[in-house]
Chains A and B, each alone.
Chain A
Amino acid sequence: MKAYVYVAMKKSVLDPQGKTVQGALSKMGYKGVADVRQGKYFELSLDGSLDRAAASAEVERMAREVLTNPVIEEFHYTIED
């Protein structure tokens, strides 16, 4: 079982890296991009000791307590077999 955790800056927080990437894309001639937000991605290989519900709860706890800083970041995750 694997958990995929996606972390992004909250909409209300300025993301200077995203802004820089957006500026670069437009300077390089790529069209159609209005905004870029840069985030983080974690791929967790689970050891199978927890069932899906328990794993989900544990991943959520890790994401909230360690992988993100709730002051500036939000997350979502998926769990796949």
Chain B
Amino acid sequence: MKFGVIIFPGSNCDHDAYWAFKEVCGQPAALLWHDSHDLENSDVIVVPGGFSYGDYLRTGAIARFSPIMESVRKFAAAGGLVIGICNGFQILCEAKLLPGVLLRNKTLKYICKPVHLRVENTDTPFTHSLTKGEVLEIPIGHGDGNYFCDDATLSQLNRNQQVIFRYATPSGEVTPEANPNGSLENIAGVCNEGRNVLGMMPHPERASEDLLGMKDGLKILQALAGSTTSMR
């Protein structure tokens, strides 16, 4: 599986993601420039974290007009795998590749800390090797991670099992106390109806090696690396 990691002006987790897929997972990887349309035959597109275009206007609002996002839109429409992490999640929401939007954290504070996530759906290329109900410890680092959508969208997400991760206690209970940012129903990650596009606020690439002190994120990266739903 070849991983294409997009670099926008202001991306700052691009090299971390590239490192994690290439060096830690041992997969071919490429860095893709925002100003190009070329996805370089990637099997998975990674929209990394950071502050694309300085978060001007709204988080992700400018990045979605990048030339490369036109290619990503076509790639996703054809069933290609796309994962958006943190700012990448925000961009995919603005690009309408995922439902909803990430609002300012309820506390108005930037939050950088490890959180626990309960895996809600394992029937996706991103979580197929995980267990439903499994708890992962992965760090977040964001000021705008408060997931919001309207009631109709929320019931659709629940009905279609598009909520992939929820903030939970270490024992896997989804409680208000475990919700760091005010997200609706503790939502930390959602996928599209086709299950080929995932957005998540926590950073799996920051929990992928012993050196980083946490390795649970590697399970998601490896699930993707071992996914068989590649287009190619």
Interface residues of chain A, those whose CB is within 8 Å of chain B, are 12-14, 16-17, 20, 66-67, 69, 71-72
Contacts and interface: CB of A to CB of B under 8 A. Distances in A.
Interface string B52-68: 00000110010000000
Where chain A touches its partner, the secondary structure class is loop
B148 A71 contact: yes
B108 interface: yes
21 contacts: A12-B150, A13-B148, A14-B106, A14-B182, A16-B103, A16-B104, A16-B107, A16-B108, A16-B182, A17-B104, A17-B108, A66-B57, A66-B61, A67-B57, A69-B58, A69-B94, A69-B101, A71-B93, A71-B101, A71-B149, A72-B103
A72 B104 CA distance: 12
B105 interface: yes
Contacts, number: 34
Interface of B: 57-58, 61, 93-94, 100-101, 103-108, 146, 148-150, 182
- The 5 A-B residue pairs whose C-beta atoms are closest, nearest first, are A71-B101, A72-B101, A16-B106, A16-B108, A16-B104
B29 to A, nearest CB: 31
Contacts of A66: 57, 61
A73 to B, nearest CB: 8
B108 to A, nearest CB: 6
Contacts of A67: 57
A69 B61 contact: yes
Contacts of B108: 16-17, 20
Contacts of B57: 66-67
Contact of B105 (A12, A13, A16, A72): A16
Nearest to B60: A69
A13 B106 CA distance: 12
A71 B106 CA distance: 18
B103 A13 contact: yes
B25 to A, nearest CB: 34
A71 B90 CA distance: 13
A12 B146 CA distance: 15
A71 B108 CA distance: 20
B209 to A, nearest CB: 35
Contacts of B100: 71
Nearest to B59: A69
B148 to A, nearest CB: 6
